[in-house]
Amino acid sequence: RLTPKQKQFLAYLVQYIERWGHAPSFEEIRGHFNFRSYNTVSTYLKILERKGYIRLPKQKNKKRAIEVIKPVEASSFELPLLGRVAAGKPIEAIGDNLTIEVPPSMAQGGDHFVLQVQGNSMEEEGILDGDYVVVRKQPTAEEGETVVAIIDNEATVKKYYKRKGYVELRPAHRGMQPIIVKEGEFRIEGKVVGVVRYL
């Protein structure tokens, strides 16, 4: 079986080859996944070859000649469930090695994790109490994006707005006030890229 990251890697190769007719370069792979070195790219490729999913070219100068033998084996990825997040509390660990299955479209590019939301501060954004949010790890966000922010070791899910001299972390709930913080008083843990709900 492939790990979640190996599935992401293989899915990227498949999508790239389907679109362009050849495999991505090492530089494109490294950039897509924000890997620090080409060695990491090489390691993933060798693992996928060893597991029988791809065939690597014999000649080193033909790096784009990667062949996919078996496509991604499952229609979903398993991502680590790190814990619960509620307004004004630290991320509460739920247990060790718990995972949540998510569609591949929610886990493209970079590292991802899942948090369970407690409370209704984001209900007008379609994030309800008990939902699971899929978060891509990243330290920055664009205006209006939904982020997981850490303030004094306490986590919150809010919409991000940059103002002159401060940042506004706004709930999607008319009855709640935004959190106002200066740039150095918080950090962005990641951007919310999807919501999973179990009925």
Half-sphere exposure of 152 (CA within 13 A, CB side): 6
Give all strands (DSSP E) within the chain, no chain letters.
54-55, 67-68, 77-86, 99-102, 112-118, 132-137, 146-151, 154-163, 166-170, 179-181, 187-196
Q: Is 121 a catalytic residue?
A: yes
Closest CA to 6 of 41, 56, 58, 55: 41
Ramachandran region, residue 33 (left: φ > 0; alpha: ψ -120 to 50; beta: rest)? alpha
| Catalytic option among 7, 121, 159, 191 | 121
Q: Is 158 a catalytic residue?
A: yes
| Catalytic option among 158, 164, 182, 191 | 158
Which positions are catalytic? 121, 158
